[in-house]
Structure 1
Amino acid sequence: MDFLLRKLAPQLEALPVGLALEIPGGQRVGRSSADVVLTFHDWGSLAVLAAGQIGKLGEDIVEGRVGFEGRMRDLMAAAAHLLPGSPVASDTSWWSDMLRRARSLAQHSPQKDAEQVQFHYDVSDDFYALWLDPHRVYSCAYYRDPGMSLAQAQESKLDHICRKLMLRPGERFLDVGAGWGGLLLWAAEHYGVDATGITLSKNQHAHVNRLIESKRLQGRVRMELRDYRELDESRAFDKIASVGMFEHVGRANMHVYFGKIRRLLKPGGLVMNHGITAGGVNTTQLGAGMGDFIGKYIFPGGELLHASHVLREMALADLEMLDAENLRPHYARTLWAWSDALEEQLPEAQRVLETTGRARDAAKVLRAYRLYLAGCAMSFEQGWLSLHQLLASRPDGRPQTGALRGAQSAYPFNREYIYER
């Protein structure tokens, strides 16, 4: 084991924060004044750290094989420097691609998707409410002004999407993966649309329907417990938004997903696809065990595509890409806001989780979410993950639609309308 310690010693000294390791037997190595202390109960976990398998180390922390003291921000600063290389390196072999496709197909049946979504989103509404904004918007905020709070930035994001979609009173609007109803209700209350939302989360479905009733929006707003593949295509929507949902679709089902979106959209209508994208062109998850960690504890079945692949899938579905906006650093700031809010309420979070159906695993769930939020914040800061808003249309085939000849959609082919105050 002296070999492991000799290997780690120079790495520990070079870190931007003070890191100390307490190894089996009680010996302490690393910085004398440490910001972060990791306590190892067996040598196997120390070997994981020496190999730079940050995701596996996270698993050991969740399972209690490694103890942790210190701030999450400091732990992530250390983790970023302990990686042996880039976690977005691509494996482009035909065999690996075939395996990824087979696994994707197996993981994304309607039943599997429902189970996987409920595993994550139905942990506890009260738990999420501790660290989300009052609207419970669980996606990247938009810090239009640097001084915005998280709550202000989330309302800014909701309005940003509604503006991009050019929502108008009376239009039929679909929110695919509507979460706790933030966008669905914002669009109905501020833009006067007839709004339909869908989710696979039973908790979210019940929560949003309570809000619809309390706001007396019945008849104009509805929330359905439904898979996107089951939506009725007989009456199309004017505008469609999908926010933080297509990460659950799976690479092998992207043609099904965007094909369905096109059929649900009126000719000339607009669709906004807002979602996490991969930092590497051919990767579906982060390396160094980080993607495996998220798949095991947070988002089972989640898959990521590079923005270029998403645009290709949209084009194959005959959707015309109109505008692309990268909000990557906005998501880093959003995730740090969530992480900091959770860190400030750890005893309450533990208590809330102990009242759920996973009470026996409450401590593990909490450790997993602490690592997930901070780790994702670091990943967006580093550029390993990204976030794109992609605005597209279903061209109506009419050569003189709109102010510009050949526009073929509601989009004016300039961005001024999005940013008008």
Structure 2
Amino acid sequence: MASSLRLLVAKIIKIGTLTVRGPAGEQRFGGGGGRSVTLRFTDDAAEAELAADPALKLGELYMDGRLIVEEGDIYDFLALVKENTLSEGLTFGMLWRGLARIAVSLFRNRVPINHNRRNVAHHYDLDEHLFALFLDPDWQYSCAYFHPPGISLEEAQLAKKRHIAAKLLLRPSQRVLEIGSGWGGMAMYLSEAAGVDVTGITLSQEQLKISRERAQQRNLAEKVRFQLQDYRTYRPAERFDRIVSVGMFEHVGRTNYRNFFRKVNQFLADDGVMVLHSIGQPSVSYVTNPFIEKYIFPGGYIPALSEVLPHIERAGLLISDIEILPMHYAHTLHHWRQRFLARKADAVALYDERFFRMWDFYLAGSEMAFTHENFFIFQIQLKKSRDAVPHQRDYIAMREEELKKFEAKRRALEPVELMQGLTV
């Protein structure tokens, strides 16, 4: 008798070929003409669990080695499913779990308890050796800017910093705040490129440690400083001329958008400029992918622009530019995953095989969101005064050309893994 999973797969897979193997035997689905993927289940229970709760169990079964991809890889399987329709394959159990997760998500958004530091530590305080396996030498853990197309990851991450710096319209001696400062690469670039004074705030102890060490090594400690600080409780002595936030807004949460932009208004000088860089999704969603929520980014939420823009307006800020980068993160994630897979032995040595598969699934699933689900990056430029930014966009390209001249003379970056004495 066919398992509930195989009955479900028969309804879903029409394009391409999916072969399913396991204790119940081998069966082939689909009409061909597309991707060809082969899965093997190690036990009957695995098939039943996946059919009942695919959003969570697919990642868990792959992570635990109970689901093995024998032809293609996990990205190919995810893409194959997305290239077919899921509308006819929903079961009562899947719908029930989806509604339950929406209810839990809405409840959590209303509980007045802050777990931000704990949530950040869950991901960003992992062993720094892990990030050295797949990031560029500047440890840019956010979407790169592949302009022109086909450039390397290192070149694209530099292009990202250049593009944002150009939009910030920096001038020497300005005070800059970076909300979510990562491992310090953006702050150091801005300071060296334009002679500005940068304060970076983070909730990650590990990122704070490495950022401070990097600034010290580049003799920037007097111009670039990092603090363990939550933006909601931050009380700067003066307002900032410029604010930048890259890859942090995804951790704010929809019920905190109003407060976030009110804080930006408080922090920003009257003639100031901010650039906000974040992942966006094409429409409002009421729940985060349960695997990502449980294992990768607890408390995270990807906003739709329709959720963000009203809070900007209500905070009294003006939008001077919105740029959509639709596929740049897909390229970034592809580079990261290929680098990570190439260093599998090192990743397993750091943690274990289960952790490696968990991160393989996370990176593959994230790439698929941009290639098949219309996720994108948005960069929003904000201001308080109408004339704080030129009235046409050609200044961005002009400033980027100026920054390229600075980059040609800039002292080379020391790879973080070498600076830290890492051996991976």
* TM-score class normalised by the smaller sequence: 0.7 to 0.9
Residue 216 of structure 2 is aligned to residue 213 of structure 1 = yes
- Equivalent positions of 1:295-310 (< 5 A) are 295-310=293-308
Report the CA distance shift for 1:160/1:275 in structure 2 as closer, same or farther (over 3 A).
same
Task: Name the amino acid aligned to 1:77.
Answer: A
* Equivalent-residue separation in structure 2 for 1:292 and 1:66 (angstroms): 18
Task: Name the amino acid aligned to 1:75.
Answer: F
Paired residue for 2:19? 20
Describe the superposition over 1:275-302 as per-residue Cα deviations: whole angstroms up to 9, x where unpaired. 112222x31445xxxx111001100000
Of residues 181, 186, 192, the one that matches 1:183 is 186
- Equivalent positions of 1:257-406 (< 5 A) are 257-280=260-283, 282-285=284-287, 291-353=289-351, 362-395=352-385
1:175–1:241 CA contact under 8 A, matched in 2: yes
Q: CA deviation at 1:8?
A: 5.3
Report the CA distance shift for 1:108/1:419 in structure 2 as closer, same or farther (over 3 A).
farther
1:268–1:410 CA contact under 8 A, matched in 2: yes
Describe the superposition over 1:327-370 as per-residue Cα deviations: whole angstroms up to 9, x where unpaired. 121111111111111111111111123xxxxxxxx332221111
Describe the superposition over 1:362-387 as per-residue Cα deviations: whole angstroms up to 9, x where unpaired. 33222111111111111111234222
2:3–2:48 CA contact under 8 A, matched in 1: no
Task: Name the amino acid aligned to 1:4.
Answer: S
* Equivalent-residue separation in structure 1 for 2:360 and 2:316 (angstroms): 41
Q: List structure 1 segments (4+ residues) > 6 angstroms apart after TM superposition.
A: 31-34, 95-99
| SS across alignment from 2:136 | coil
Report the CA distance shift for 1:96/1:14 in structure 2 as closer, same or farther (over 3 A).
closer
Residue 164 of structure 2 is aligned to residue 165 of structure 1 = no
| SS across alignment from 2:137 | coil
2:14–2:84 CA contact under 8 A, matched in 1: no
Q: CA deviation at 1:43?
A: 3.2
Gaps of 5+ in 1: 88-94, 354-361, 396-406
Report the CA distance shift for 1:367/1:6 in structure 2 as closer, same or farther (over 3 A).
closer
| SS across alignment from 2:20 | strand
Task: Name the amino acid aligned to 2:210.
Answer: H
Paired residue for 1:75? 77
Q: CA deviation at 1:48?
A: 5.0
2:254–2:301 CA contact under 8 A, matched in 1: yes
Report the CA distance shift for 1:52/1:103 in structure 2 as closer, same or farther (over 3 A).
closer
The worse-fitting range, judged by mean Cα deviation, of 31-40 and 316-325 is: 31-40
Paired residue for 2:109? 104
Report the CA distance shift for 1:383/1:66 in structure 2 as closer, same or farther (over 3 A).
closer
Report the CA distance shift for 1:170/1:38 in structure 2 as closer, same or farther (over 3 A).
same
* Equivalent-residue separation in structure 2 for 1:86 and 1:137 (angstroms): 41
* Equivalent-residue separation in structure 2 for 1:116 and 1:49 (angstroms): 27
1:20–1:37 CA contact under 8 A, matched in 2: yes
Report the CA distance shift for 1:76/1:107 in structure 2 as closer, same or farther (over 3 A).
farther
TM, length-normalised to structure 1: 0.84
TM, length-normalised to structure 2: 0.84
Of residues 154, 162, 166, the one that matches 1:151 is 154
Describe the superposition over 1:22-48 as per-residue Cα deviations: whole angstroms up to 9, x where unpaired. 2225x2222799954322233343245
Aligned residue pairs, count: 387
Q: CA deviation at 1:68?
A: 3.1
* Equivalent-residue separation in structure 1 for 2:253 and 2:18 (angstroms): 38
Report the CA distance shift for 1:283/1:13 in structure 2 as closer, same or farther (over 3 A).
closer
Q: CA deviation at 1:79?
A: 3.2
Q: CA deviation at 1:13?
A: 6.5
